[in-house]
């Protein structure tokens, strides 16, 4: 099979991505210039940093530490607020107007009503898709725990956002639960158009000389290669339960990692921490490695690999 016959494009909630590799939220999605660079470097889609209704300072330093195979962070979703984010997304659209790169806006809030309000406000920028971040482990919430912690609260946010916008929504789930598939089913039934799995894994690091946690917030979220097996399992479990598309996120740093996510059930794959090691060209490199794998293994389309690790194989 020649490489020009490989079709990397994927359909995500009726939106066509030129390839399945997505810049994950919170990584370089802070300005239009950065998202343009990532988009022009080969990403199929770029996701803005999650925004709230009002500007948010986040947690005090230290907020991010490098450790072994990844990072531990408690940034606390610092952002300039939805009004500023609308302008960032509009500028991003203008900068990428001659490309087919898909733009995803990401939102979060501390209350169900807040999610609806910020979703409605950010929709004014007309992103192609809207990510609903109900799973950050480092911020306070209306019910005391992330909305992704229970099917009832996850579904409540999903319904509220669906009523507030006509843009397809991707609900971002947490691995810090007993059974992620139960949460995935709840948000699907509440109207989610897709799910993203996963957000960071809760963790902590202690300075043994000072005898105290290193992060100012004490706890943080683990990202990077160390969490890939957790993410793959979560994607696999979700695929067994829901029929809506899944975006696999967590520890992906190569084309082989991306293919593994797809065979677990992901239709598209988010890349985050790997950018810190490989730079803005990382997503384009991973997309090319996926294409090379497809050529070498006679896969004509990305959909030929989605869910292949399940009995019966193939995308549903």
Nearest Cα to Cα of residue 127 among 114, 118, 138: 118
- pLDDT (0 to 100) of residue 138: 53
Q: Which helix (H) or strand (E) holds 103?
A: strand 102-107
Q: What are phi and psi of 117, to 5 degrees?
A: -70, -45
- pLDDT (0 to 100) of residue 2: 45
Catalytic residue, candidates 13, 51, 136, 238: 136
pLDDT in tens, the chain (316 residues): 444 679 999 999 999 999 999 999 988 889 999 999 999 999 999 999 999 999 998 888 888 888 888 899 888 888 999 999 999 999 999 999 999 999 999 999 999 999 999 999 999 999 999 999 999 765 555 556 889 999 999 999 999 999 999 999 999 999 999 999 999 999 999 999 999 999 999 999 999 999 999 998 888 899 999 999 999 999 999 999 999 999 999 999 999 999 999 999 999 999 999 999 899 999 999 999 999 999 999 999 999 999 999 976 566 5
82: left (phi over 0), alpha (psi -120 to 50) or beta: alpha
Contacts of 175 (CB under 8 A, 6+ apart): 197, 198, 199, 201, 227, 230, 231, 234, 250
CATH of residue 164: 3.20.20.70
Nearest Cα to Cα of residue 76 among 154, 157, 133, 143: 133
Is position 314 within any domain?
Answer: no
Is position 239 within any domain?
Answer: yes
Q: How many domains does the chain have?
A: 1
Is position 288 within any domain?
Answer: yes
Is position 180 within any domain?
Answer: yes
Is position 85 within any domain?
Answer: yes
Based on the residue annotation, tell me whether 136 is a catalytic residue of this protein.
yes
Is position 310 within any domain?
Answer: no
Is position 312 within any domain?
Answer: no
Is position 313 within any domain?
Answer: no
Domain region containing 9:
3-304
């Amino acid at each position: 099979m020649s490489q020009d016959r490989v079709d990397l494009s994927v359909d995500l909630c009726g939106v066509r991505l030129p390839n399945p590799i997505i810049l994950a939220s919170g990584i370089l999605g802070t300005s239009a210039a950065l998202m343009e660079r990532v988009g022009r470097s080969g990403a199929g889609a770029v996701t803005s940093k999650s925004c709230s209704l009002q500007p948010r300072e986040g947690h005090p330093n230290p907020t991010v530490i490098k450790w072994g195979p990844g990072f531990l962070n408690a940034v606390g979703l610092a952002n300039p607020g939805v009004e500023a984010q609308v302008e960032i997304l509009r500028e991003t659209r203008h900068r990428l107007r001659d490309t087919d790169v898909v733009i995803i806006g990401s939102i979060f809030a501390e209350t169900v009503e807040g999610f609806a309000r910020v979703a409605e406000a950010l929709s004014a920028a007309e992103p192609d898709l809207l990510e609903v971040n109900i799973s950050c482990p480092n911020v306070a919430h209306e019910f005391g725990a992330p909305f992704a912690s229970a099917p009832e609260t996850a579904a409540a946010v999903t319904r509220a956002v669906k009523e507030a916008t006509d843009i397809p929504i991707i609900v971002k789930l947490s691995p810090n639960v007993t059974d992620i598939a139960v949460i995935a089913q709840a948000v699907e039934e509440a109207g989610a158009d897709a799910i993203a799995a996963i957000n960071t894994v809760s963790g902590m690091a202690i300075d043994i000389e000072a005898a105290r946690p290193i992060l100012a917030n004490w706890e943080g979220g683990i990202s990077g290669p160390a969490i890939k097996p957790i993410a793959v399992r979560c994607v696999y479990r979700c695929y067994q339960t829901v029929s809506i598309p899944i975006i696999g996120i967590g520890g992906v740093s190569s084309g082989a990692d991306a293919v593994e996510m797809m065979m677990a059930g992901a239709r598209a794959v988010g890349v985050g921490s790997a950018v810190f090691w490989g730079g803005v060209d990382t997503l384009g490199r991973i997309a090319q490695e996926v294409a090379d794998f497809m050529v070498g293994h006679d896969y004509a389309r990305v959909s030929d690999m989605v869910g292949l690790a399940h009995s019966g194989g193939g995308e549903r």
